[in-house]
Amino acid sequence: MNPRLRIKLIAPPIAVFLLAACVEQAEPPESPPRVVLSHRVAIGAGFNLDEYSGEVEPRHATALAFRVGGKLIERRVELGERVVAGQLLARLDPADLAHSQTSTEALLAAADAERALAEAEALRYRDLHAQQFVSQALLDAKETALKSARQRYLSLAAQSNLAANQRGYSELRVDQPGVVVAVLAEAGQVVAAGQPVLKVARTNELEVLVAVPENRVSELAAAGEVAVTLWAAPDRRYRGRVREIAPQADPLTRTYAARVSILNADADVRLGQTARVHVSAAATGAATLIPLGSVFQQGKQPAVWLLGDDGRVHLRPIKVTAWREDGVAISGGLADGERIVAAGAHKLIEGEMVRVIAP
């Protein structure tokens, strides 16, 4: 091949390569800032305040029953009716009790006559023994008969009093004012002694029964005073105080029953109403709560991404006190008002530029 022709064929590719090497390579376009959701830190406040739903119940509710058995012939109150102390609520058929009282009174009268006769005979035999007309053994027999007659009289007197009391037990009365919350027997029904007939609740002390998960029991126990609202009147707040918490969890729900007394209940608070118990973070003494997705585990040290004024994120170590289902409780590392990344902390790097979306 002609050498000149070879040079002409090789020269264009070389020229293209040299021209490409001389041209400065263009930088790839910069990616847009990552979009993050932010959360403003509020020291001492919860990400979600504790709130429990429950039902208004009386602190004292008594199941009333007759102290004797019999046929219920009259019930004078209905469900929901208010009653006063000493009011007659129901009556049993008193016929059998009246016969029992009459029988014991007759036996008592006979015993009284026997006692009088024994006393007279003992008195006569004492005189005869003093004149030595009867032996000591015969006098002792009369004295023993007198003691037996007296004891029999005392026994029948007690039975007569009991029969009279039992006749009075045929009337069921209430000893405290309240409201009838349950009717457990109807007229014509035969009831046994101690069988509940009515249930009366006292309305002077009302409380809310709520169910508390096991990880909140200690917080609620230390809450002290709480707020109570009614579903029917959500704008009205009542003062409440935790009165008691069950020592054992419910076997089905695995929650603990807690009773919150309503300190300033008025006529608008009625039994059976739906109520909510609000427990503030300050009341429970809980640490600050931040979202679960905001925590970045840096080895063994938990941290969060703090949003700087320049739009970049910076890692800040925090002190975690508890992991909860509604957030992470912290006791140090953040100041009030600072903003942190609320979700996706594991996708960021130190100093990365982000675009913030407030919740």
**Residue 5, in any domain of the structure:** no
257 and 308 share one domain = no
Q: Distance (Å, rounded) from C-alpha 359 to C-alpha 43? A: 18
For residue 7, pLDDT beyond 60: no
Identify the band that residue 88 occupies on the pLDDT scale cut at 50, 70 and 90: very high
Domain span at residue 109 reads 95-168
pTM of the model: 0.57
**Residue 102, in any domain of the structure:** yes
Phi-psi region for residue 300, left (φ > 0), alpha (ψ -120 to 50) or beta?
Answer: alpha
84 and 104 share one domain = no
Q: Which of 279, 296, 314 is the last residue of a domain?
A: 279
In this predicted model, what pLDDT tens digit does every residue of 248-266 receive, in sequence order? 999 999 999 999 999 999 8
| Residues paired with 319 in a beta bridge | 332
For residue 285, pLDDT beyond 80: no
For residue 28, pLDDT beyond 60: no
Which CATH number is 175's domain given? 2.40.50.100
Amino acid 154 reads: L
Which CATH number is 257's domain given? 2.40.30.170
User: Would you state the pLDDT for residue 158?
Assistant: 93
CB 313 within 8 Å of CB 351: yes
- The structure tokens listed for 213 are 């998960």
Mean pLDDT score, 212-230: 88
| Cβ neighbours around 238 below 10 Å, total | 21
For residue 19, pLDDT beyond 70: no
Highest mean pLDDT among 12-16, 115-119, 279-283: 115-119
User: Would you state the pLDDT for residue 344?
Assistant: 77
Q: Distance (Å, rounded) from C-alpha 339 to C-alpha 39? A: 5
Q: Using alpha carbons, select from 325, 359, 340 the residue that is nearest to residue 295.
A: 340
Q: Which of 178, 201, 224 is the last residue of a domain?
A: 201
**Residue 220, in any domain of the structure:** yes
Which CATH number is 310's domain given? 2.40.420.20
**Residue 28, in any domain of the structure:** no
Mean pLDDT score, 170-195: 93
218 and 160 share one domain = no
Domains held by the chain: number: 4
HSE, side-chain direction, 13 A CA sphere, residue 75: 23
Query: Terminal CA-to-CA distance of the chain, rounded, Å?
Result: 78
